[in-house]
Every structure is written in structure tokens, then in C-alpha cells.
Amino acid sequence: MATILEPGQIEAAASSPPFLHLPPNNLFTLRALRLERLADGHPMADFLRLVAGLCHAQQHLMDNPPVAAMPDPERLRLCQQHGLPPFAADSLVRENVWLPFLEALLQRYQPPPHSAVENAVATLRGANPGLLKAWAIALVSGQYSMLPVALVPFLGAALQVAWSHWLLRTPNLELTRGDSLSQCPACGSPAMAGVIRHRGKYNGLRYLVCSLCACEWHVVRVKCVYCEQSKGLEYVSFEDDRHAANQAPLRAEVCPGCNSYLKLIYLENDAEAEALSADLSSLMLDMRLEQEGYQRPAPNLLLATDER
Ligand code: FE
Ligand code: FE
């Protein structure tokens, strides 16, 4: 079927797609509200509500960041000049600059009393900076066996706010594509999921969402972001009475070439969807794909897993 373009659309189609889509300042509130809505009637309701509480604490921190907690501007300038991710997670996580964000989050967040969560928060409050950094290094490099599982969501939450804060508070960022399609141009971390956007100049384009800083970068559709092949890709979704398979708001792009998959969120089919909440509320799909032998390279920093 032929598509008729309006004059504005012809211009948009002729120019190359915008490389970046930055998250909104209220990202963490959006995540929290969405998680609260998804929790109703969900088999993992308690977990989703717990993460929602954490996201509210993240937003408070985003709105009230610790003073002077910014990376060295000269370093940011040099990285951009050389086409490197200015907020490279593997090096910045070794510095002290993110620690005030964790401290502030632990002050703000009120864990439910007498819970495992309370113990995790107490462990983090009592740990020295060297140990906190060792755990954070393990987390951002995907070595989940190197830190206590219960600490992951809280440490991950603090790191996410620090990196999103830096991303959104640094003017005139010039970001360059990473070495791999799945690598964030701002911080070098792997993508958490992809979003097929549906409005204005972004309509129909795929953006990958960073697991750490929430920066979004454009990657063409129908291409495995891990091995860059298009052959044999399949799109797998939940069995769901509400949506036909080709209209499911969440589908995994499964690649037979490298045996990996990436979750995609289709805003056209659910305009309110958001990547982190969509990911955490669809873990049944991960279990099914894992059973079928597929790997998931995409981390979610608020969820500890053995495999990722
Ligand atoms: Fe990033
Ligand atoms: Fe692949």
C-alpha cells in the first residue's frame, strides 16, 4: 500500500533521523507511576511497588541533587573531542563523584520496617567507600555474582540518578556512536531495551534506552543490535487477549544468529509505556526465552540476575 506523505513529513523523511532522544526531567516519576499502575493485579505486584517507591526516591534526588557532584568538565571536553563517551561508566564508577548520590538516596529512601530491604539499605549505609565502589564496579560491568544480590536495586538506583543528572545537566553535549550498536554513546553502558517511538520527527524510529543514564540513541529497526544481522529475526510477545501478536506493545526481537534477544516497546500500541517499567513487568517473557535457550545481554540495574 502506498503511503502519502504530507509536506512536513517529506522534509522529515528526507533528513536523517535525530541520533539522540534525551529522557525527560521527570523520568523517574513516570517510571514510578507506571509501575504502580502495572502492579495492580500483577503476579509480582509487591516487587513492582517496591521499585516504584525507589523510583520516587530517585526523582526526589534528581530534583534535589547533591551540590557540586559533577564530573571534571575538562575530562568531559576531552572525551567529546575524541568521540568517546563523556560519562564512561567503567572509569567514573571508580571515582568518588557518584558517592554523594548514593548517600542522599539512602537518606531519603524509607525501607519497609523489618524487611530484607531494610537489611540491604543498612548494609549499604554501613559500607565504606572502597567497598561501595567495588560493588558498583561489579554492577556496571554485569558481574552480579561479585556483589550481594539484595543490594543491586539500591546501588543501581543511585547510579542511575547520578548518570541521568550528569547527562541532563551538561549543555551542548556532542555524542558519537559507540563501538557497538547496543552501547550508550553517553556512558558506554549496554542498552536496557528498545523503544519504537510514535510521534513527530521520531515516528516509527527505534531508540535504544541506556540501562544506566537513560539516554536514547537511534538504531535502525529489524537488525540485531548484538551481531548486526537481520536474517531470521523473530518477534516474540506474550499471549494476550487484548492484543494481536503484531500489535503487542512489548515484543522481544530474537536473533537466531547470536542466540540473543532485546525487548522492544512499541509506543504506537501503548503510548504510556516506558522501558524500565515495561521490562520489569514482563519477566515472564524473559523466563520463557531463557527456557528456550536464548541469552539476554541487556541489563536492568534495578534487578539482580545470575545470568546477565
Ligand atoms: Fe548511558
Ligand atoms: Fe544477533
Encode pLDDT of 101-146 as tens digits: 999 999 999 888 888 899 999 999 999 999 999 999 999 999 999 9
Within 117-249, strands assigned E span 191-196, 206-210, 216-218, 234-236
User: Could you tell me the pTM of the whole model?
Assistant: 0.92
Task: Report the separation in Å between the CA atom of 279 and the middle of ligand 1, taken as the mean of its atom positions.
Answer: 17
Element (H, E) at 284: helix 283-291
The answer on 144 and 88 residing in a single domain is yes
The answer on 142 and 112 residing in a single domain is yes
Task: Report the separation in Å between the CA atom of 228 and the middle of ligand 2, taken as the mean of its atom positions.
Answer: 6
The answer on 104 and 72 residing in a single domain is yes
Which ligand has the minimum distance to the alpha carbon of residue 294?
Answer: 2
The answer on 144 and 41 residing in a single domain is yes
Do the domain assignments include residue 51? yes
Encode pLDDT of 239-296 as tens digits: 766 777 788 999 999 999 999 999 999 999 999 999 999 999 999 999 999 999 999 9
Which ligand has the minimum distance to the alpha carbon of residue 255?
Answer: 2
Do the domain assignments include residue 147? yes
Residues 74 and 94: their CA atoms lie apart, in Å, by 18
Task: Report the separation in Å between the CA atom of 87 and the middle of ligand 1, taken as the mean of its atom positions.
Answer: 8
Which ligand has the minimum distance to the alpha carbon of residue 261?
Answer: 2
The answer on 144 and 95 residing in a single domain is yes
CATH code (residue 64): 3.90.1670.10
| Length of the chain, in residues | 308
Task: Report the separation in Å between the CA atom of 63 and the middle of ligand 1, taken as the mean of its atom positions.
Answer: 19
Domain residues for the domain of 42 are: 20-169
Do the domain assignments include residue 11? no
What does DSSP say about strands 206-210 and 250-255: parallel, antiparallel, or unpaired?
unpaired
Do the domain assignments include residue 13? no
Task: Report the separation in Å between the CA atom of 54 and the middle of ligand 2, taken as the mean of its atom positions.
Answer: 33
The answer on 196 and 162 residing in a single domain is no
Residues 11 and 8: their CA atoms lie apart, in Å, by 5
The residues, any chain, with a CB within 8 Å of residue 140's CB and separated by 6 or more, are 89, 90, 93, 159, 189, 212, 301
- C-alpha cell read off for 294: 536464548
Number of structural domains, the chain?
2
Task: Report the separation in Å between the CA atom of 2 and the middle of ligand 1, taken as the mean of its atom positions.
Answer: 38
Task: Report the separation in Å between the CA atom of 230 and the middle of ligand 2, taken as the mean of its atom positions.
Answer: 8
